[in-house]
Amino acid sequence: MRPKKSGSPENHIEQKLTAILFTAIVGLLLLFLLASSFPREFLTTYRNTVPEGTPLLERVEQAVQIFDDLLVGEAPGYEGFIELYGATQKAMGKRTIPDPNYSYLFLTDHGQITYQINERDLTEPANKIVALKETLEQEKIPFLWVQAPFRLLDETEITPITFDYGDENADSFLAMLEQQGLSVLDLRISFREYRQQGISQQDLFFNTDHHWTIPAALKATETIAKTLADEYTVPIDPATFSEDQFQMTTQENSFIGSMGRRVGKIYGGVDRFTLVVPRFETDIQLWETDYGVTTQSRGSFEDAVLVKEYLEDPKMTANRYAAYHGDNEELVFINHKLPEGKILIIKDSFGVPVYSFLSLGVHEVRALDPRLYKGSISQYAKDYRPDVVIFIYNVDSLNQNMFQWED
């Protein structure tokens, strides 16, 4: 049989059929992605990782990389590949795993996955915080910096890590703030005390995720409330946040964090997740704003604040930690059970459970995420007139990208 000529009718038909088939496959793939959580994940990841003012070419490059990473995660067989890779690493006794997002992931002696933090020059971020504090001071608005922990790595835990500057960066940053007269609440001190009291790393931090557990976030909230009651004029009762005021429901093997999903269940295991809700009667109204669109809900703490779809995912792919309302440009909580008290919180992801819990102790809490909110924080505070402005960042958030708001 003679080969078909490139210009033959048969060849044209094959080319058209191939083009139609390819278009259909791409269309089906796009429909699948649009029907899934892919668009929200892409937009959230892009907003959280690409700072405002990034040159156009770099924005495009980073957007393509984010799209590629998420697309790979949606690919059939991807989870099986990750499990095989993790199982192989575990069989070889590897505690250091190369990773394109984190450079390397490390398995501590406590069985927790973490990553190292490089040394950073934090002079410019510190100066920006000092300038904000001075502006608020002129308006007679108190200011408090709350330093959340990242991982409390002792000498045994850091065995796989060649170097880590998380605590050194935080020490340097807090020293610069305190030299300029800023009030600082260092929660790392409290968490080290918890460890000395016999509270385990697993009770304080997830194994597969870098965040603190929900009960640990409640402990942090109680400490913050005590500081606000003792040193500020905020009408808040720290007893509101004692553990006996909350119901704690623990589900074993129910949560896989962001780092655990990169190494698989065989290597990193599966976390337990403890849901913490108040035992007392609540009436919360919540507004959330993103991209200029505001939505509203009202009801009990469980109905108005908790994002139930994150708690009911049987495949454990949802971020249960974010069930306490995260990744929003602006949140406004109104507690209809209390008549007074206004708090403005500027936060990273460690603040997610904290501002939700604090809304139980005062009339109003507002939360801004500087990765998403690009307006003037000082002007927002001037217009709002809170009893206090709180910044709560974990150690890893001490980087230039987290200080990109307007002056």
Q: What is the tens place of the pLDDT at every residue in 166-195? A: 999 999 999 999 999 999 999 999 999 999
120 shares its domain with 63: no
**68 exposure class (CB count in 10 Å sphere: 0-12, 13-18, 19+):** exposed
Portion of the chain with pLDDT greater than 70, in percent? 80
119 shares its domain with 30: no
Q: Strands of 141-292 (E only): list them.
A: 143-148, 184-186, 246-255, 271-278, 284-290
Give me 149's structure tokens: 């922990």
pLDDT at 277: 98
Count of the separate structural domains present in the chain: 2
> For residue 355, is it within any domain?
yes
Q: What angle do CA 193, 194, 198 make, to 5 degrees?
A: 115
181 shares its domain with 39: no
119 shares its domain with 225: yes
Q: Which residues pair with residue 105 across a beta bridge? A: 97
In the predicted model, residues of the chain with pLDDT beneath 50 are: 1-6, 33-35
356 shares its domain with 222: yes
Q: Which residues pair with residue 286 across a beta bridge? A: 297, 333
> For residue 239, is it within any domain?
yes
Q: Strands of 36-111 (E only): list them.
A: 96-99, 103-107
What backbone torsions phi and psi does residue 344 show, to the nearest 5 degrees?
A: -110, 125
Q: What is d(CA 26, CA 402) in angstroms, rounded to the nearest whole number?
A: 37
145 shares its domain with 56: no
> For residue 107, is it within any domain?
no
Structural domain boundaries enclosing 219: 113-403
What backbone torsions phi and psi does residue 233 show, to the nearest 5 degrees?
A: -100, 25
Q: Where is 334: in which H helix or E strand?
A: strand 330-335
pLDDT at 237: 98
Question: CA-CA distances (angstroms) from residue 144 to 62, 90, 178, 366, 380?
Answer: 34, 44, 11, 15, 16
Of 74, 96, 122, which residue is a domain's last? 74
Q: What is d(CA 152, CA 325) in angstroms, rounded to the nearest whole number?
A: 25
70 shares its domain with 117: no
274 shares its domain with 373: yes
pLDDT at 151: 82
249 shares its domain with 118: yes
